[in-house]
Structure 1
Amino acid sequence: MRVLPYDQSYTNWFFRYKLYHLPFWFLYHYLWWVIGLGNPAKALNTLFVLPYAIKYSFYVLFQALAVYFNLYYLIPTYLEKSRFFRYGFYLALTISVATLCTVSGYYFSAYVSGRTLAELYGGSTESNCFYRFVGNALPSTVASMTLAMSIKLTKNWIQTERRQQLLEKEKLETELKFLKNQFNPHFLFNTINSIFFLIHKNPDMASASLAKFSELLRYQLYECNDQQISLDKEISYLENFIELEKLRQNQNIEVVFESQAGFSDHLGISPFILMAFVENAFKHVSRQPDRTNWIEIRLSVVGQQLDFFVANSTAPQQTRELIHYGGIGLKNVQRRLDLLYPAQHELVIQPSPTDFTIHLRLHLSASVPAPILQPV
């Protein structure tokens, strides 16, 4: 286990538990106190008087706890999952409990100072004092919760806008790089030549290969312009690409592709996410003449969970090149996954002297129907 230096460990602990928020809450409640007393100097002086300092601490502590309980538990658990009734109920309960705990600070401060509530805070009876204390603590608690939610929602909105901008930029760059990589003369001419030689040897296979080649070009030009496409279309594209690549490879390469993704037409996926790994396998598969070289591709879908496995044989000298990754680049793929599927994917890459393995788990969402551009 790596031990952090004392100052670094302290800094991480400080930010992990959000202790840097404490000055904000002290200042926030101090401003409320200034509004209540109408005198900043008097409000500051009372902070150093024991009973009032206790009451002030109760305001800071319990309202802060209520705020963070709402932000980090109630909102993710209920509000973000559209469970509005339960969220409203637990939010009202949280506000009520925080208000009563804050009011208890008045009683505790009176007990510690050995004075009565009337002597400290004025009032004729304890019941009158209680309702007055609730009248002070409840608006303050509601205001704290509202302020914190406003800050949190604004921050989330800004982050979403930035992520959307990055996604749009990344999508354009990725599509340009990928199309440039696919539509290079090497790929086009080799595939066309392979089909040309098949015309005389096996016309039926040549016709089928030409149809696959046409579908592949059509997909890249017209059907992958949306942020999401049907998973079935992506799988069909992978199958066409694999069949065409098998034509171009020598006979010493065994290719296995297994797909268990039935009834997945309702799921959507970002274009070219899976393709990058398949392209890399064909590009960097070993080509040793004295042994069988292989590529293994397995895809399965359970519910909304996609499991994608790609492995290929490689030579020891190729491992370093594989780390840098061909095609659109490993860093680019990982970045797209981070932007498109935050906290919804797991990517494991395992290079070794004899093989290169990629395992991707991806949580997919329902696809949104979109018009498909057709060639004119």
Structure 2
Amino acid sequence: MNVLPVQQPAQNWFFRYKLYHLPFWFFYHYLWWVVTLGNPVKVLQSLAVLPYALKYSFYVIFQAMAVYFNLYFLIPKYLEKSRYALYLSYLLLTVLCATLCIVGGYYFSAFASGQTIYDLFGQSACFNTFFSNALPSTVASTTLAMSIKLTRNWIQTRQRQQLLEKEKLETELKFLKNQFNPHFLFNTINSIFFLIHKNPDMASNSLAKFSDLLRYQLYECNDPQIRLSREISYLENFIELEQLRQNSNVTVTADIELGYANHLGIAPFIVMTFIENAFKHVSKDGDKLNWIRIKLSLEGQQLKLVVANSTTAGQTQEAVHYGGIGLKNVQRRLDLLYPGQHSLTIQQDSRSFNVTLWLNLTEMAQVDRLQVA
């Protein structure tokens, strides 16, 4: 089967060869001569006369050549590679060559019109006059184009850096979350294992709750923000499941007073980590009462969590250094997701481990709009 070559649309050629730059160059030099002569009408009239139009074309052509040579050859080859001495030398040589070519346009215009230099440009016309006119214009056009190019490159580099930082942040958050999930699943399965040996009659209820927890974790918490009410339901199921496997000498007090919380969003597993850590590291003393106290309240859009558990000196250090995987990750997630919008205090002594978290939440409607955008 023969394949016919596809012709490029005229518009692609127009942009490929920078033809849209031509109006810019003509307009730029027109403004330059307006500033020089001070009369826009006189400039237009002079451009309509062949000798002056020819001189004008020398400005346009050779300054454009100098600019593009600088932008697409000198800057990438020397300036961007920090070869400043060579770049400056070649740039000055380029400007000088373009200026001399433009000066030649004065003489060529006189030759083409069959007039002398003095008849065409006045009695003061000479090489120095032409050079003093062409040099500032060439330097100005080169500087303007280089400024635009460097500014554009800086903006593109800045945008690329911001995109890379965003991707890095998202990757880091996903890594932290994925690192946390297996840790939590291991603890939950371990809880059910102890429950089965302790009271087989409660195994069915425990597995049903674990199924709800797993469904939530796998399917319902993949968004950066979820509704606070859903997170609290998950939290209550977890606490009830943990209470089933605890010994009789462990007292769990959970005070959750949030009222209507369906309009607020929260990052998944932020609150859960501290409660899981309390159950994992609660003291196991047989001769005295072991306890866990959980208080969760909402004031406006500010969530307050207080979690405390009894412990021993050795268990306290274990909770800090090993409890580790969960606590370190959640502190990092708080720093990334709620910069300047949270306060976390962790206190420990030989008898207790205490966590206090203040968190400013966002309305779920705003979160939905951000996700759609």
TM-score, length of structure 2 as denominator length: 0.52
Give a deviation string over 1:319-343, Cα, whole Å, max 9, x none.
Answer: 2222224153433222211110011
- SS of corresponding position for 1:226: coil
Q: Are 2:180 and 1:183 aligned? A: no
Q: Which piece of structure 1 moves more, 301-310 or 162-171?
A: 162-171
Written as runs of structure 1 = structure 2, the 5 A alignment for 1:100-111 is none
Give a deviation string over 1:224-256, Cα, whole Å, max 9, x none.
Answer: 111001111111111111111111211111111
Q: Are 2:274 and 1:273 aligned? A: no
Written as runs of structure 1 = structure 2, the 5 A alignment for 1:283-362 is 283-326=280-323, 328-362=325-359
Give a deviation string over 1:237-290, Cα, whole Å, max 9, x none.
Answer: 111111111112111111111111111111001111111101110111111111
Q: Which piece of structure 1 moves more, 315-324 or 155-164?
A: 155-164
**1:159 CA displacement:** 8.0
**Residues 354/199 of structure 1: CA separation in 2 closer, same or farther (3 Å cut):** closer
Aligned length: 215
**Residues 196/314 of structure 1: CA separation in 2 closer, same or farther (3 Å cut):** closer
- Residues 282, 291 of structure 2: 8 Å contact kept: yes
- SS of corresponding position for 2:350: coil
CA distance in 1, matches of 2:159, 2:311: 45
Aligned partner letter, 1:188: I
**Residues 339/166 of structure 1: CA separation in 2 closer, same or farther (3 Å cut):** farther
**1:170 CA displacement:** 2.5
- Residues 250, 289 of structure 2: 8 Å contact kept: yes
**1:192 CA displacement:** 5.4
CA distance in 2, matches of 1:155, 1:289: 63
- Residues 192, 206 of structure 2: 8 Å contact kept: no
Give a deviation string over 1:283-314, Cα, whole Å, max 9, x none.
Answer: 11111111000011110111110001111011
CA distance in 1, matches of 2:305, 2:298: 9
Identify the match of residue 232 of structure 1 among 226, 229, 232.
229
**Residues 155/255 of structure 1: CA separation in 2 closer, same or farther (3 Å cut):** farther
**1:198 CA displacement:** 4.6
**Residues 176/242 of structure 1: CA separation in 2 closer, same or farther (3 Å cut):** same
- SS of corresponding position for 2:270: coil
- SS of corresponding position for 1:360: strand
**1:168 CA displacement:** 1.2
- Aligned residue in 2 for 1:216: 213
CA distance in 2, matches of 1:155, 1:231: 38
Q: Which piece of structure 1 moves more, 272-281 or 205-214?
A: 205-214
- Residues 191, 247 of structure 1: 8 Å contact kept: no
CA distance in 2, matches of 1:295, 1:237: 18
- SS of corresponding position for 1:322: helix
CA distance in 1, matches of 2:188, 2:228: 25
- Residues 253, 293 of structure 2: 8 Å contact kept: yes
- SS of corresponding position for 1:183: helix
**Residues 217/336 of structure 1: CA separation in 2 closer, same or farther (3 Å cut):** same
Aligned partner letter, 2:188: F
CA distance in 1, matches of 2:157, 2:236: 43
CA distance in 2, matches of 1:158, 1:324: 38
CA distance in 2, matches of 1:285, 1:178: 20
Q: Which runs of 5+ in 2 are unaligned?
A: 1-151
- Residues 258, 297 of structure 1: 8 Å contact kept: yes
- Residues 306, 361 of structure 1: 8 Å contact kept: yes
Identify the match of residue 171 of structure 2 among 169, 192, 195.
169
**Residues 155/174 of structure 1: CA separation in 2 closer, same or farther (3 Å cut):** same
- Aligned residue in 1 for 2:147: none
Written as runs of structure 1 = structure 2, the 5 A alignment for 1:8-19 is none
* RMSD between aligned residues: 2.9
TM-score, length of structure 1 as denominator length: 0.52
- Residues 167, 340 of structure 1: 8 Å contact kept: no
Written as runs of structure 1 = structure 2, the 5 A alignment for 1:2-81 is none
**1:161 CA displacement:** 4.3
Aligned partner letter, 2:258: A
Q: Which piece of structure 1 moves more, 310-319 or 189-198?
A: 189-198
**Residues 167/237 of structure 1: CA separation in 2 closer, same or farther (3 Å cut):** farther
Identify the match of residue 257 of structure 1 among 240, 254, 277.
254
CA distance in 1, matches of 2:304, 2:161: 29
**1:369 CA displacement:** 4.4
**Residues 273/264 of structure 1: CA separation in 2 closer, same or farther (3 Å cut):** same
CA distance in 2, matches of 1:214, 1:321: 30
Q: Which runs of 5+ in 1 are unaligned?
A: 1-149, 371-376
CA distance in 2, matches of 1:213, 1:276: 17
CA distance in 1, matches of 2:163, 2:177: 21
**Residues 303/155 of structure 1: CA separation in 2 closer, same or farther (3 Å cut):** farther
CA distance in 2, matches of 1:162, 1:276: 29
CA distance in 2, matches of 1:349, 1:155: 41
Between the aligned residues of both structures, percent identity stands at 53
- Residues 181, 327 of structure 1: 8 Å contact kept: no
- SS of corresponding position for 1:358: strand
